[in-house]
Copies of this chain bind each other. A is one copy, B any other.
Amino acid sequence: MIPFNKPHLTGKETHYIYDAVSTGKISGNGKYTKLCQEFFEKKYGFLKCLMTTSCTDALEMAAILINIEPGDEVIMPSYTFVSTSNAFILRGAVIKFADSEVGNPNLDVSKIQRLITDKTKAIVPVHYAGVACDMDAIMDLATKYNLFVVEDAAQAIDSFYTGRDGKKRALGSIGHLAAFSFHETKNIIAGEGGMLAINDPQFVQRAEIIWEKGTNRSSFFRGEVDKYGWVDMGSSFLPSEIISAFLWAQLEELDDIQARRKAIWNQYQQGLSDWGNANGIRLPEIPSYATNNAHMFYLVCNNPEVRSELIQKMKNQDIHPVFHYLSLHKSPFYAEKHHGAELAQSDRYSDCLVRLPFYYDLTDAELEGIIKALRS
């Protein structure tokens, strides 16, 4: 049986959990929280990182930081996870859903401008499958209309964007704020877990306060204030050291994990591209400005019936590909609140996209088996 996902252990997770407990501190913001945060800051050039209990929580922090108030509008793709929008809805925002590109499920930048009003406060590009959105175009719009950009980089760790200046920047380091996920289906995992990356210096101090339940506890421990108290709204966004210790074991093996995942991705592409072309089934397209972090390998079928048949036939061989999001603008919760425009590409991905099994421990033989099963 080949499932869609299997969490991968590097072997040192429980060792570091033991070590975390031996420090006498397993609540948040201890040794491993700091190790993880510094790792990400140094490796990817984020100004400041804060570990969170989920990517959802990182998005909620972002919504609080940019002061979303009831009636503020936020633009994002409809083809995304519910948390992308919930985080802003919890602050009272109105979501303006935009369509995806024809070539991949990312936000179609040409569809954004028409959604901007004087109430628009932010754009939330989602780097689907870890593939960069067209960030130069998005940042240009944000500058022109004085908007914040919050990158939903849930799937986008260790992936990059090369802008018109020729510089290669890590996804999550470009917008004012960015949110990452370490959910068990991601490249590096902690079961549930996430991180907020802060790139705009104006948010650093307040982010730490919101993260520490609205207190200036972090300033206190740095000796900047002589007692700490309640200074802002906030929540308990920081994860247990157990979670960060687990993640640390994954980070130590990041290069190995990424090398294996890229090999899997390439094997899928080499094994399926001619078959896809011959059968009207599209494989992932990586724009020239983007890198591939091998988060996911998906197929886009030419209609929903083909997808259903493909999933069913694979299941009959105990191989378990899965579809993905359902357009949020058509959901029971938001259909009546949607601005009404048809979002054809979003609906196409909802109906026709299927994700193939993808995890570190997938063997070459299993991969060959999946490819062979698809081709027949």
Contacts and interface: CB of A to CB of B under 8 A. Distances in A.
A139 B83 CA distance: 36
Interface in A1-23: 3, 6-7, 9, 13-14, 17-18, 20-21
Interface stretch (A230-238, A252-260, A286-294): A230-238
A242 interface: yes
Interface string A86-119: 1101101000000000000000000000000000
A236 B26 CA distance: 21
A82 B9 contact: no
A200 B14 CA distance: 39
A199 interface: no
Contacts of A87: 235
Interface stretch (A167-175, A264-272, A326-334, A366-374): A326-334
B333 A86 contact: no
A90 B18 CA distance: 35
Contacts of A26: 7, 184, 189, 191
Contacts of A246: 242
A239 interface: yes
A87 B214 CA distance: 11
Interface stretch (A49-57, A301-309, A339-347): A49-57
B17 A332 contact: no
Interface of A: 3, 6-7, 9, 13-14, 17-18, 20-21, 24-28, 53-57, 60, 70, 81-83, 85-87, 89-90, 92, 183-185, 189-193, 213-215, 227, 229-236, 238-243, 246, 326, 328, 331-334
Which 10 pairs across A and B sit closest by C-beta, in order of nearness? A191-B240, A56-B236, A230-B331, A26-B191, A54-B236, A192-B240, A53-B53, A14-B14, A27-B184, A191-B242
18 contacts: A14-B14, A14-B18, A26-B191, A27-B183, A27-B191, A28-B192, A53-B236, A55-B236, A82-B214, A83-B213, A86-B233, A92-B92, A190-B240, A190-B242, A191-B240, A192-B240, A230-B333, A231-B332
